[in-house]
Chain A
Amino acid sequence: MSETQTKHDFEPKIVAYVCNWCTYLGADLAGTNRLEYPPNIRILRLPCTGRIDFNLIVKAYEMGADAVLVSGCHPGDCHYTSGNYHARRRWMLFRVLLEGIGFDMRRVHFTWISAAEAKKFQEVVIDITEQTRALGPYGDFRKLLEAPVC
Chain B
Amino acid sequence: MRPSSEAVDMLAHTHVTDCYQCGKCSAGCPVGERMDVLPNQLVRLVQSGNFRRAMDCEAIWLCVSCQTCSARCPKSVNCAGVLDALRQLAVENNVINAAARRTIVFQQVFLNNIRRNGRLNELELVGVFKSKAFLKDASVPLLFKDSLLAPKMITRGKFHLMGEKVKDRALVGRIFERCFAEGPRGHK
A contacts B: CB pair < 8 Å: no
Name B's A-contacting residues (CB within 8 A): none
Name A's B-contacting residues (CB within 8 A): none
